[in-house]
Chains A and B, each alone.
Chain A
Amino acid sequence: MINDNLIAVSILDSLNMLAGGLFLLTAFGIVATRQAKGTLTLFITQSLLLAVSAFLLGLRHSSLHLYGVALVNVVAKAILIPWVLRKTVHEEVYTRREIDQVLNIPSSLLISLALVIIAYFLTIPLQQAIAVEFRGPNIPIGFAVLFLGAYTLAVRREAVPLLIGLLAMENGAFFAGISLARTLPLLVELAIATDGLIIVFITGVLIRAVHQHIGTTEVGAMARLKERTTDEALEETGQ
């Protein structure tokens, strides 16, 4: 009986690891995929994997609460967020391809790898500080995805991949969270999910406004606001 249990637990653990590994890969994909739509698909996959991981941890620790988290994630991130994005952002924006990023893709991928390794080393002391039952692969992976999302925001310029990068960061935080803060009230989880929807809505409206008024979807490349001295300002205005 105990033996059975142990095997079940070890299988659940490796499945959770697997979900984590794929979760990490989707983050790499978000860094590297050229198609704006591709990043959206990757994000949906990523959110589903997050839900899978929450579900598996729920099974593992027999916590009803984590099932709720999984459900909330599936509904909010895999269904509602893409829907809201499609509603707010013009078709043309999210079917775009990004031809050139700030860095080329292989170097981006290498930097991302370095970030993951950094995330791993950063989390070693944390893992030791927390109780054994909260430890797990979720924490380094969550940190890594947080970093990769931030990196996406730094190197990409197209609107939709940038938004996806933001959401991926939040996914990363959550991925660590389902292991760290397992008993967070469900009300809070719901509120955070709603918050994600509002993010997409507001950012979508913003992207649409940029597209309408400036005619670009490369929001990351806008650079009109910068520090100038008064002399430069004078030159610019020609007075």
Chain B
Amino acid sequence: MALIDTQDLYKIYQVGDVEVKALNGVSIAIEKGEFVAVMGPSGSGKSTFMNILGCLDKPTRGTYLLDGIDVTATELSKLAGVRNRKIGFVFQGFNLIKRTSALENVELPMIYNHTPAALRRKKAMAALEAVGLAQRAHHLPNQLSGGQQQRVAIARSLVCDAPIIFADEPTGNLDTKMSIEVMDLFTRLNKEMGKTIILITHEPDIAQYATRLIKFKDGQKISDEKQTPTGAKPAATEDL
């Protein structure tokens, strides 16, 4: 069974008298261990699709099975636990909590699943080590570069051992060098840790890192193809 399985998803907004179909019947299955890039112009419905996949929003119609759980039948308020266990988020704006150290930011998801403090610290340190930021554990977000902040966010997405990472324009605020660093990290997480990565981007260069490319337009999937990642450098793992 696919890790992510959507059947005929619709998301319809009522704007005055007009119905706006942000999603217009999308069916996609994603297997465990895939690295999927989702592309499309703004307004294509890719963000709406991601929000639904990320259990942040619910479709108007259609079914969505996440690791066998029928998300559409679950109340939005009950989805917090699903997000915590199954999904790690990486956002364009990093979305770290201000005035809170890198380590504490990474610990945060574990507070919500009642991990004991000592174990929390240990796992958070391990996650920071995995993204190469162990030495920066006690720095505040504003003392870190954009690339480093994004790596802290990635560490946060890893720390609960969620099988899926959703990355919404993760390189949008980064320069080329930092973007390469971050994308290499995603590639490594996909290959070495078997994480399923779903990446939203509008940059073709960034989409090249994925093994599958899905394109959206007008609320519908217009193409879905396997590809050989060309962006990933073979020596990337040593660089980190």
Asked if chains A and B come from one complex, the reply is: no
Which A residues form the contact surface with B (CB < 8 A)? none
Which B residues form the contact surface with A (CB < 8 A)? none
